[in-house]
Structure 1
Amino acid sequence: MSKTPPGFDHIDLKLIAALIALIEERSTTKAARRLHLAQSTLSGTLARLRDIFDDELLVRQGRDLVPTLRAEELLLALRPHYEGLAAALGEVRAFNPETDARVFRFGCTDAFALAALPKLTETLRSKAPSCDLSIRIGDYRTLPEMLSSGEVSTVAGYLREDPTATAKTRVLRNAPWVVVRNAASPPLAGLDDFCARPQALVTPIGDLSGFVDDQLRSIGRERRIVLGLSSFSLILAALPGTDLITTVPDFAAYGLARHAAFEIEPCPVAVPPVTNALAWSATTHRDPAEAWFRAAVADAFEAGKSP
């Protein structure tokens, strides 16, 4: 006798979320991490899904789990409906930060963390004492993938473009560029002095050219980059006690200056400000807990964007 086709009496929203994560991640370990579950729990869920749909769904090939044709069909059919349903249901889930327990998973640039993390940590400790925060540091290349994969529910920083087609975004600040130098170094004496000084550049992809260099070339000038750094936090190790200078968004400079004897000066090059934004998954848009967290992130960044 054939099985009854799966329906709402067989499957719930959590099972759909697990199915989507398993098919997209092709790994019970990665899917469990994405859903914040134990791997053993998700292995049991996969067994239940196989029974419901009367299909293997994922078959082992070497170290990988490869989706069956039925699994691929289910993903195409269920994913858009799941996102809309999850967003709608989020509207009815109340959140009390004083008593509720929640893990917020947040991705941001390290420049954003330098500015916002002190206040954000204080807010969670004082206003949401049972909530925990997990931060993943990334850049404009990796943060969109973290968001679309579900590793994090919110990202912030310089994102270059909208992270995903379904993501919600909010611009937080168009930040001007400033020069940071060791406090013992002499102040800048104009553009010629700026171009002559040895400089460090934060460069996620390892090149030694950035926004400032684009503007310098437009006026027939250049500067000497002697050190490329993969993150803003490395400036704390590279600049103290040296004659190096670096050019960074103003909020990053203020965050750095809280940890080292740095001086901050206006950039002598007319560089367009860099846009920093907050972005979040459409599936969490109506979730009161996530909405509260996004507001806390925005407030923390506002508090940390100035000296």
Structure 2
Amino acid sequence: MNPADRLPDLNLLRLFVALVEERHVTRAGERLFLSQPAASGGLKRLREIFQDPLLVREGQELRLTSRAQDLHAVIAPRLAALTAGIAAATPFEPSRDARSFRIGCSDAVGFAILPPLMARLRQEAPLCGLAIRIGDFRTLPGWLAHGEIDLALGYLGDELPANARIRVLRHSGWLILRDPATPSVAGIDAYCARPHVLVTPRGDMSGFVDAVLRQQGRSRRVVLSISSFGLLSAALPGTDLVTTVPDFVGQRLAARAGLATEVPPVAPDIIANSIAWSDSQDRDPAERWFRQLVIETFEGTFPR
């Protein structure tokens, strides 16, 4: 057999990198939009090509062999550079291209930016698609590092991958939302006494506000935890519930659902809403165009 016939193609190399980084056949396949049988078949072919098991099951986990670790150290950066080089040399015409863009963002940003962003995308790139994944500062950096999203948008914390580029779009304060028929939340005592709604993707009953209150020896009553800011328009009207949210989403919800706003007597620090992308995507003409579209939409919708 000609040695060249045993070399893996680019799709197999992409699967190899995903398998090593996910250490899970199904998740690696999902990352590349492959079925589980296709991913398993690809792993079998990679084992034949490299003459090594690559991933070995230990209980519920898959362990990397030494050869898999060595191969990944060589393949991953070269594959990323090749992909970036090809993308940078590929022209992009928004009105005629039919690719899909992938954003990972916080629910607050997704709720607020989706309508104007989709309107511009439909107008300027009508054949392109948009996939949005909702996460938070704990999940978005990992998705970006593993290539599961092209852009991360929102509050991103301090754990972005080393090769990420970042731009701060807006510093956001906080607002209380409540039914306008209910009393004002005037002062820390009234704030702590009212029942609260917390928006969190993890189903927590404690958040940033609670950490600040604990520092002051105070606490509040969180009686409802929801995963989407959009649900606040159903949860707050007609009740005595209040919630504390970033100011930009609070303004949008207040206008849409007829809610009253107030500045909270206690709140976490001002947060930075940023956009981040991988260095390997920096020169891709399509990604550069889409980043600019997102930046313009965000800054146009929520002035600094």
The verdict on a shared fold, with TM-score over 0.5 as the criterion, is yes
Which residue number corresponds to residue 89 of structure 1?
86
Write the deviation string for residues 123-162 of structure 1: whole angstroms up to 9, x where unpaired. Answer: 2211111111111111111222222222212111111214
Which residue number corresponds to residue 74 of structure 1?
71
Shift of 1:249: 0.8
Which residue number corresponds to residue 283 of structure 2?
286
Which residue number corresponds to residue 138 of structure 1?
135
Write the deviation string for residues 145-203 of structure 1: whole angstroms up to 9, x where unpaired. Answer: 22222221211111121421222211111101111111322444455544443322334
Which aligned pairs between 1:83-232 and structure 2 lie closer than 5 A? 83-205=80-202, 208-216=205-213, 222-232=219-229
What is the TM-score of this pair, normalised by structure 2? 0.83
CA distance in 1, matches of 2:69, 2:15: 14
- Counterpart of 1:31 (choices 28, 31, 52) is 28
Distance 1:258 1:34, change over 3 A: farther
Shift of 1:14: 4.3
Kept in 1, the 8 Å contact 2:103–2:133? The answer is yes
Shift of 1:62: 7.9
CA distance in 2, matches of 1:57, 1:212: 46
CA distance in 2, matches of 1:12, 1:172: 40
Q: What stretches of structure 2 of length at least 5 have no aligned partner? A: none
What is the TM-score of this pair, normalised by structure 1? 0.83
Distance 1:303 1:26, change over 3 A: same
Kept in 2, the 8 Å contact 1:181–1:262? The answer is yes
Write the deviation string for residues 45-85 of structure 1: whole angstroms up to 9, x where unpaired. Answer: 54554454344444677887654432221012222333334
Identity score, percent: 49
1:20 counterpart letter in structure 2 = V
2:294 counterpart letter in structure 1 = V
Write the deviation string for residues 76-119 of structure 1: whole angstroms up to 9, x where unpaired. Answer: 22223333343343321211111111111211111011111111
Q: What stretches of structure 1 of length at least 5 have no aligned partner? A: none
Q: Does 1:261 align with 2:258?
A: yes
Instruction: State the SS of the aligned residue for 1:33.
Output: helix
Instruction: Give me the CA root mean square deviation.
Output: 3.2
Kept in 2, the 8 Å contact 1:250–1:305? The answer is no
Distance 1:292 1:220, change over 3 A: same
- Counterpart of 1:275 (choices 272, 275, 279) is 272
Distance 1:29 1:228, change over 3 A: closer
1:291 counterpart letter in structure 2 = R
Aligned length: 303
